[in-house]
């Protein structure tokens, strides 16, 4: 008797790879090249700004690198929230908004953005492959590091992400085991005992992000994006899960960890806002074009 198919039987992976969630950096694309240039320019501009403000040299260098990296990663996070090939410019909008966000709130942790990027790819499978040992090492290491820095909720959220990954369509059952490892790192996380304080400005930003991202979750049903490695259309359920998880988890992280955690998540929210803003213009443009064709 043939074995009954289930959601695990079609899991795509390349066993010869150490990393499965990596995606190519194509500087030949105009938007990618522009985003990279924007990141470099913003880093230089922030360095000049902090120099004029009289900051120490070490602080200036750290801030400039973090600011440039935040812009760079915001662009790629937007590509994961909306991987549609015809809407790549949404990442550029998110990168520009991140520059504005850093002027207002400052530059946050690069580690948070690396964690967010890999968790999104873990859930949406935009690379066309499931997570491999190298990807898991990066995600767990980022969660552990953030936990040791006092952001104790990151290992817990990471464990939840692996559990969700194992249960949605195309899930990998061994993700459940990895979730246990993520939860184990939570035991080593540092809890400062200080009461988390979240500024009203972050609450406003979270609310605006939520409103702008909700249409993206609906439009994910009609995605034509394909995985880089397998060339197969992304599973809408996985894409919607990644979008919803990142929105909810980032809000929880900010709520429980306060302003410092929220500052690090600003590039994620700006990327999501950029996706929502461009999607609105994209739909209006398409509607006008359809009306012209009908006329």
Whether 3 shows a pLDDT value over 70: the answer reads no
- Residue 226's DSSP bridge partners are 233
The stretch 127-141 carries a mean pLDDT of: 93
Q: Above pLDDT 90, what percent of the chain?
A: 72
pLDDT at 200 over 70: yes
**Average pLDDT, integer, range 33-42:** 94
Q: With a threshold of 0.85, does the pTM exceed it?
A: yes
CA distance 200 to 204: 6
Among left, alpha and beta (phi > 0; psi -120 to 50; other), residue 232 is beta
pLDDT value at residue 4: 44
Residue 267 in contact with residue 96, Cβ under 8 Å?
no
Q: What is the tens place of the pLDDT at every residue in 181-199?
A: 999 998 888 887 778 899 9
Q: How confident is the model at residue 238 (pLDDT cuts 50, 70, 90)?
A: very high
Q: Residue 295: what pLDDT?
A: 60
């Amino acid at each position: 008797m043939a074995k009954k198919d289930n959601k695990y039987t079609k899991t795509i992976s390349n066993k010869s790879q150490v990393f499965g969630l990596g995606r190519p950096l194509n500087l030949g694309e105009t938007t990618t090249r522009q985003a990279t240039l924007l990141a470099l320019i913003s880093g230089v501009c922030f360095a000049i700004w902090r120099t004029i403000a009289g900051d120490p040299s070490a602080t200036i260098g750290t801030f400039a690198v973090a600011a440039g990296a935040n812009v760079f990663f915001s662009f790629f996070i937007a590509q994961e929230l909306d991987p549609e090939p015809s809407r790549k410019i949404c990442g550029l909008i998110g990168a520009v908004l991140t520059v504005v966000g850093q002027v207002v709130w400052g530059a946050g942790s690069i580690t948070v953005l690396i964690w967010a990027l890999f968790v999104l790819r873990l859930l949406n499978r935009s690379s066309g492959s499931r997570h491999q040992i190298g990807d898991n090492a990066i995600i767990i290491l980022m969660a552990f590091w953030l936990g040791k820095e006092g952001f104790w909720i990151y290992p817990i959220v990471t464990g939840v992400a692996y559990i969700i990954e194992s249960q949605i369509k195309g899930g990998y059952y061994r993700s459940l085991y990895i979730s246990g490892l993520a939860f184990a790192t939570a035991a080593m996380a540092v809890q400062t005992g200080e009461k988390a304080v979240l500024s009203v400005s972050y609450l406003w930003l979270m609310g605006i992000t939520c409103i702008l991202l909700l249409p993206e979750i609906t439009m994910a049903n009609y995605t034509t994006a394909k995985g880089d490695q397998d060339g197969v259309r992304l599973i809408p359920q996985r894409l919607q899960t990644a979008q919803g998880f990142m929105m909810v988890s980032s809000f929880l992280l900010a709520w429980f960890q306060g302003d410092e955690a929220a500052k690090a998540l600003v590039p994620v929210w700006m990327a999501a806002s950029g996706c929502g803003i461009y999607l609105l213009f994209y739909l209006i443009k398409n509607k006008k074009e359809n009306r012209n064709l009908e006329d």
